Structure 1
Amino acid sequence: MHGHRDAHTGIHSEHGALPGEHPGRHPNPVIKVLDLAWLEFEKPDLIRAEAFAHAFGFRTAYRDQHELQLRGARAGAPCVRIRRGAVSRFTGPVFHAADLTDLERLATALDTRTFPLQESLGGWTVGTTDPSGLRVRVVAETHRLDPLPTPAPLDWNRGDETIRINRPQRPPREPAPIQRLGHVVVQTTRYRETLDWYLQHLGLIVSDFLYYDRQRERGPVMSFIRCDQGSIPTDHHTLALTLGPSNRYVHSAFQVPDLDTLAAGGAYLHDHGYHHSWGIGRHVQGSQIFDYWRDPDGFMVEHFSDGDLFDNTEAPGWAPMTASGLAQWGPPATADFLGVAPGRHAAAELGAMVSALREEDNEFDLRRLVGLMKVARS
């Protein structure tokens, strides 16, 4: 199936795999998770974190002196858990299993056991680490938050289809209402091993692979990975993995209703002095309209709308990784988004490059470094 090319035309990367390349899925995964449940962080200042969260469009689902849970409008679990910690850090993603039986099957495969979650969340969890050392948890039977109201999408006059007469358009300049968690992107020094781990244990499947220019024979360096719910369409990517000199969080993305709420929400964030990273534009892989911001602790977060949905019949696309290929339209990718802007983030990544090149227990070698540098210049 991965050699079929016609299905990709006009949908995502136009070309499929060559013979012998990664198929993008495991033939017999342990379980198939349904979706991301939430993301977990630690931060020293929960008051500051909550202030940004409200400006970004989250609502508080639960709060005490040790923990903050943030939600979108959709029914279900919170989108983000932030616990008080000495330093700001991403502690890992949490995925939804279909039921407790799947959770127990995963626990057996990982040689661990299920544990109850705290009362504010309910349900059960299995915890482990992926090959890059990131903590990963899978949950089942958690409490379900009731849906919250969100504004209806605005009526648009589209070309000759004029449905808005004598009604000026005035979208309010206010926080973009978050609907749900969409995806998380992480960087790993052990890309191939980490990719295969997620496909085998969580049943994720690849939507698109990217490779460095003139290095396709060495295999991909980034994958956009979705959940497999059979004929039920799921987001183009729930998790994205990219090869790099360090194991770190890159960004997370949260859906908002439409372009107007995304743009007006960005204006609100700008008015309140928050740091804009890149946007507005439309991506290639995933097609979503995007806008990137940084919270006060430096974590990159994305508003998105109108993303691709695939069922499990869609085979992986293959494309070269370039900075210009990140968007169909919009401003060029910024140095901040690419991680090369002067500052502590770029300095930390430079130090990680030196360390990675000295070590042998990773996939980031000198040729991969050259490929990454070409991406930043492309």
Structure 2
Amino acid sequence: MSTSTVDTEPAEPRFDVHDGLHSEEGGLASEHTGRHRDPIIKVQDLAWLEFEKPDLRRTAIFAQDFGFTVTEQTPDTLVLQGTKSTAPCLRIHRGPKSRFLGHTFQAAAEGDLERLARHADTVVKPYAGGKIVRLTDPSGLPVSVAYGQPVTRLSVALPAATLNFGELRPRINVPQRPVKQPARIERLGHVVLETNRFRAALEWYLETLGMIVSDFLFLDDMRDRGPTMAFLRCDRGSVPADHHTIAMHLGPRVGYVHSAYEVTDLDTVAMGGEYLKARNYSRVWGIGRHIQGSQIFDYWRDPDHLMFEHFADGDLFDNSVEPGWAKMSASGLSQWGPSVTKDFLGTAPNDIDFRSLVASIRTDTEIDVPVLRSLMKAMNS
């Protein structure tokens, strides 16, 4: 009796997605797992952000220069969309000052809204042709979850550039000539927030909205106090999601830090930046490539000093990826590009709100003098 054998190739080793994060070790056995065992719901994406602005005409000019498409403009409302968005990126309302009004997530099903409303002891309300539940996170920031808002997709996306690299050389007899023009926003990617109640806010997003952590950052000399920044993504199971949909870091202030919008490719980031520079807008930091999330980035200020980011080529993780751990440091924010600026870090003299510092120390927050010292050390390392 003869037997046959089948030659099989050895399985390729799984790539460590957290390799090179400036950390000698990953999460320790006693540290946070980065997810909740039984969340109330699992949101699917970040739907839109809301702002208040005193001058909607000036806001619309910047928005179009940055690359948004204006889909609604009235004396009191401005709605901005991306070419691949399934919802408006921004809803902006006329008001006495420039401020962030909160962020809205997309629910997976209408029943999730009812489940969330029962948990939070609130009600589902109609909104913009769909339904919405309005909540407040432990930092005091407004958070909503929506479902069913009808949106028409725009058909003005920019095609990606044809690239010659390695053995793939499809561009023959055709020079590369990217155009200096607005970047053409495709969609909202993420929002970054600062909070002085980081641990409570982190647990709330994991339990209430079912988000999971892609990466944690910790203060080098205070790791025993837990992480001080988290990059959270949506849990879509085996369907990949952006490395982070929301990022939060511990600090003396509470509120908006920046928001990020995906564009086609590196050339689009670069030429969109050239266009903004020619229009005399203020670049905050860029162009470079991040470590956590890997995005090619370029940060700008709008006329009201709020920060907005163009990005391309970000990481996508499914729910099998466990959190990475790395030290919080200025040098750990990018793989290449110019040195991070004080403007981006919020450490320029005009950005330091000493009243917020004092208030955070005096009230029931996670901010104390050792934490402040360690945060400042990290931002200068």
TM-score, normalization: structure 1?
Answer: 0.94
* 2:355 alignment counterpart: 351
* 2:266 alignment counterpart: 259
Does 2:243 match 1:236?
yes
1:67 Cα deviation from its structure 2 partner: 0.6
Correspondence for 2:256 among 249, 255, 269: 249
Q: Distance in 2 between matches of 1:148 and 1:11?
A: 39
Does 2:146 match 1:146?
no
* 2:380 alignment counterpart: 377
- Aligned positions of 1:182-197 closer than 5 A: 182-197=189-204
Contact 2:77/2:92 (<8 A) preserved: yes
- Aligned positions of 1:70-89 closer than 5 A: 70-89=80-99
Correspondence for 1:53 among 52, 60, 63: 63
Contact 1:181/1:255 (<8 A) preserved: yes
Partner of 1:293, secondary structure, is: strand
String of CA shifts for 1:223-270, please: whole Å, max 9, x gaps: 000000000000000000100001021000000000001100000000
* 2:114 alignment counterpart: 104
Contact 1:13/1:317 (<8 A) preserved: no
Partner of 2:349, secondary structure, is: coil
2:231 maps to a residue whose letter is F
1:342 Cα deviation from its structure 2 partner: 3.0
* 1:137 alignment counterpart: 144
Q: Distance in 1 between matches of 2:63 and 2:318?
A: 32
Cα 1:276–1:32 shift into 2, 3 Å: same
1:303 Cα deviation from its structure 2 partner: 0.2
Partner of 2:155, secondary structure, is: coil
* 1:367 alignment counterpart: 370
* 1:317 alignment counterpart: 324
- Aligned positions of 1:5-16 closer than 5 A: 7-10=16-19, 15-16=25-26
Extract unaligned runs of 5+ from structure 1.
none
String of CA shifts for 1:131-155, please: whole Å, max 9, x gaps: 0100111101111222322121111
* 2:301 alignment counterpart: 294
Contact 1:128/1:136 (<8 A) preserved: yes
Which ranges of 4 or more aligned residues in structure 1 deviate by more than 3 Å? 5-15
Contact 2:190/2:259 (<8 A) preserved: yes
- Aligned positions of 1:162-241 closer than 5 A: 162-241=169-248
1:13 Cα deviation from its structure 2 partner: 7.1
Q: Distance in 2 between matches of 1:8 and 1:300?
A: 28
Contact 1:33/1:98 (<8 A) preserved: yes
Q: Distance in 2 between matches of 1:371 and 1:6?
A: 32
1:6 Cα deviation from its structure 2 partner: 7.1
String of CA shifts for 1:145-182, please: whole Å, max 9, x gaps: 22322121111221454322221111000000100000
Partner of 2:121, secondary structure, is: coil
Q: Distance in 1 between matches of 2:154 and 2:360?
A: 45
* 1:341 alignment counterpart: 348
Q: Distance in 1 between matches of 2:307 and 2:152?
A: 26
Contact 2:78/2:93 (<8 A) preserved: yes
* 2:11 alignment counterpart: none
TM-score, normalization: structure 2?
Answer: 0.94
Partner of 1:303, secondary structure, is: strand
Percentage identity across paired residues of the two chains: 54
String of CA shifts for 1:41-71, please: whole Å, max 9, x gaps: 0011000000000000000111111110000
Q: Distance in 2 between matches of 1:224 and 1:181?
A: 16
Partner of 2:58, secondary structure, is: helix
Q: Distance in 2 between matches of 1:19 and 1:146?
A: 46
Q: Distance in 2 between matches of 1:243 and 1:236?
A: 19
Contact 1:25/1:205 (<8 A) preserved: yes
1:221 maps to a residue whose letter is T
* 2:43 alignment counterpart: 33
1:144 maps to a residue whose letter is V
2:370 maps to a residue whose letter is R
* Count of residue pairs the alignment pairs up: 367
Extract unaligned runs of 5+ from structure 2.
1-13
